Amino acid sequence: MATGERGASRIEIRGLRAFGHHGVLASEQARGQEFVVDVWLDVDLTAAAASDDLNDTVDYGTLATDLAEAVAATRFDLIEALAGHLAERCLAEARVERVRVRVAKPDAPVRVALDEVAVELERSARR
């Protein structure tokens, strides 16, 4: 978590739903399915809290749109690779110090009843 003089700061985007064609099976690649993405961004929000200026923070609306478009525009066999790609997109934002990404696949083609299959990973900025 980002720690500055004033403590930890985080922006969260939860439950982002986007349609994509990720999966090992040919049927997943052809028909596609919905993915659910959560991201936690460690960001120093000290300046934004004081200024009330969007330029002093991460525009989560723009980032959410970018992540949804990335899910739709790319194709990976593994949701691990998709999560890594989305983490790199988040870290492209200069203010993001660390990111945690969770990608869930609610309609995973498995032979048992389950709510979802998900992966979660964390990455830090290399600045």
In the beta sheet, which residues pair with residue 40?
12, 100
**3-state class (DSSP) for residue 104:** strand
CA distance 38 to 109: 21
Q: Phi and psi of 15, rounded to 5°?
A: 75, 25
112-118: long-range pairs with CB below 8 Å, 24+: 116/36, 117/79, 118/79
For 45, half-sphere exposure in the C-beta direction (CA atoms, 13 angstrom radius) is 16
| Residue of 22, 89, 95, 105 marked catalytic | 105
Separation CA 26–CA 82 (nearest Å): 17
Q: Is 83 marked active-site?
A: no
Residues catalogued as catalytic: 105
